[in-house]
Amino acid sequence: MCLVAFDEMRPQGNGLRHPYSGYDGWFQSQDPARLTEKMQDAERVFRRTGITFAVYGEQEAAERLIPFDIVPRIISGAEWRRLTQGIEQRVQALNAFLDDIYHRQEILRAGRIPRELIAGNAAFLPEMIGVRPPAGVYTHIIGVDIVRTAENEFFVLEDNARTPSGVSYMIENRETMMQLFPELFQMVKVRPVENYPQLLRQSLSAVAPRSANGAPTVAVLTPGSYNSAYFEHAFLADQMGVELVEGHDLRVVDGHVAMRTTQGYKQIDVLYRRVDDDYLDPLTFNPDSALGVPGIMDVFRAGNITIANAPGTGIADDKAIYSYMPEIVEFYTGRKAILGNIPTWRCSEPDSLKYVLEHLDELVVKEVHGSGGYGMLVGPTASKKECEAFAAKLKAKPSNYIAQPTLALSTCPILTEKGLAPRHVDLRPFVLVSDRIRIVPGGLTRVALKEGSLVVNSSQGGGTKDTWVLDD
């Protein structure tokens, strides 16, 4: 199956797109040898900074450098305004959905979502029923994965409402580009992303519980240095000017969560946690967890700490729930979704399962709770043997999977030895929700570096690019 992709710089037969005009003029004047040298400089910067990620299940090269391409992905100001309108609408709906699903469950009563999709879902936490977080915000940091298929066609691929990662790469990508090509940023007016850590701290402080005394104390909870995203945890804590803590640094003191300091224990008001729900509190969830804080859920239920993102938010980015997002957006906002969904077959439904099994070589099949590109099948690039093996998995546990058509994801150029070459991309803008919604102009562009590949995840051989939103 041959998919014709929209090229964001040079669409077929249409010449150069306007957002790239300033960059293209600069690029044409560059010596290819200098650009190759700059690529090597970028790699040295990333290596020196320690921008790596861990690959689970691989003994060799478990710590990898994320490949970085020096050709930016450029989005016009008008395109960005449309995207932000759709993202804001979606984020508002997601938070309203979470509040409803853990309280009145009106969307279930209205029959807009099947009740069994919630009741039997591992991401739904009964412990959150009747609990409302401080300021009523459930998911404070959201990464919305967006794909483009044409000049004016953008779709949400998935919502990351638990612990979205990658924002540190967005910031480091920009810093590296400004270091390598300062003259470019004088020629092309690009909106800034480097103030994200300050916006994150402002946003987290704005949802502190009422029990906070004075300026709220914020901390970042990490599982530790062996976690694949540890670099990001440490980076964000440092950039925000807050403490990076592990579970053993915290304890419950007088109804509050406190961290160990040289002057004794100090109360924490807002905890930006990068620990999964199951490991957050061994007294409530997994009793074997050494990563969380015993009793933190009692403090949370009492309203004495803000946990960002709140426990139980995983139900909002479940891929089976995703298929109902158009209904969810309309139910809570009263308007049709500005950003559309990709058509999705729920394999738990017999007719959908039958269709998916018959068209496996045409579809992308994903685990409902999967992430990072693991546990999925890209039908058009899979062998007959791989399709047969996946069909067996589908038949054994159909409710664990959804399927989507293979989209012609848009392409952006990367720099290769032979010059510019198109590669498929997606975009993860980062959204902050508190007293208002803040969206940093840009996000993390992930790129499938292998020619023809549609898988952009770094764990599957993808890389990243700096994302420019033009200030026009």
Residues sharing a CB contact under 8 Å with residue 356, sequence separation 6 or more, in sequence order: 345, 347, 363, 365, 394, 401, 403
CB atoms within 10 A of CB 215: 9
Instruction: State how far the Cα of 269 lies from the Cα of 280, in Å rounded to an integer.
Output: 16
Instruction: State how far the Cα of 221 lies from the Cα of 409, in Å rounded to an integer.
Output: 35
Average pLDDT (444-465) is: 84
Instruction: State how far the Cα of 311 lies from the Cα of 163, in Å rounded to an integer.
Output: 10
Domain ranges of the chain: 18-209+305-342+407-469, 210-304, 345-405
pLDDT score for 60: 46
**Angle formed by the axes of helices 230-240 and 167-180, nearest 10°:** 70
Query: What are the pLDDT digits (tens) for 364-419?
Result: 998 887 665 567 888 888 899 999 999 999 999 998 899 999 888 999 999 998 88
Instruction: State how far the Cα of 341 lies from the Cα of 157, in Å rounded to an integer.
Output: 7
For 296-453, list the strands marked E by DSSP.
306-308, 340-341, 345-346, 363-367, 377-378, 401-405, 411-416, 419-428, 430-433, 437-439, 444-448
Distance from the first to the final alpha carbon of the chain = 39
Q: Are 319 and 402 in contact (CB under 8 A)?
A: yes
User: In which element (H, E) is residue 169 found?
Assistant: helix 167-180
Report the share of the chain in percent with pLDDT over 90: 78
Residue 8: closest CA among 66, 79, 82: 79
Q: Are 220 and 207 in contact (CB under 8 A)?
A: no
Instruction: State how far the Cα of 114 lies from the Cα of 134, in Å rounded to an integer.
Output: 29
State the Cα angle at 132 between 131 and 138, rounded to 5°: 115
Query: What are the pLDDT digits (tens) for 4-22?
Result: 899 999 998 778 999 999 9
Instruction: State how far the Cα of 304 lies from the Cα of 133, in Å rounded to an integer.
Output: 10
Query: What are the pLDDT digits (tens) for 292-324?
Result: 999 999 999 999 999 999 999 999 988 889 999
Which of 234-248, 344-358, 394-408 ranks highest by mean pLDDT? 234-248
Q: Which CATH architecture has domain 345-405?
A: 2-Layer Sandwich (3.30)
Query: What are the pLDDT digits (tens) for 18-67?
Result: 999 999 999 999 999 999 999 999 988 888 876 665 554 544 445 667 88
Please name the residue ranges forming H helices in 244-308.
296-301
Average pLDDT (209-218) is: 92
Q: Are 135 and 207 in contact (CB under 8 A)?
A: yes
Do the two domains 210-304 and 345-405 of this chain adopt the same fold? no
Q: Which residue has the tokens 């005394």?
A: 213
Average pLDDT (82-105) is: 97
pLDDT score for 318: 87
Amino acid at 455: V
Would you say the pTM of this structure is higher than 0.85? yes
pLDDT score for 118: 93
C-alpha 454: how far from chain center: 17
Average pLDDT, the chain: 92
pLDDT score for 368: 83
DSSP state letter for 190? B
Query: What are the pLDDT digits (tens) for 118-175?
Result: 988 889 999 999 999 999 999 999 999 999 999 999 999 999 999 999 999 999 999 9
Q: Are 227 and 55 in contact (CB under 8 A)?
A: no
Give the chain's radius of gyration (CA, Å).
22
Domain 210-304: give its CATH code. Answer: 3.40.50.11290
pLDDT tops 60 at residue 420 = yes
Instruction: State how far the Cα of 205 lies from the Cα of 219, in Å rounded to an integer.
Output: 11
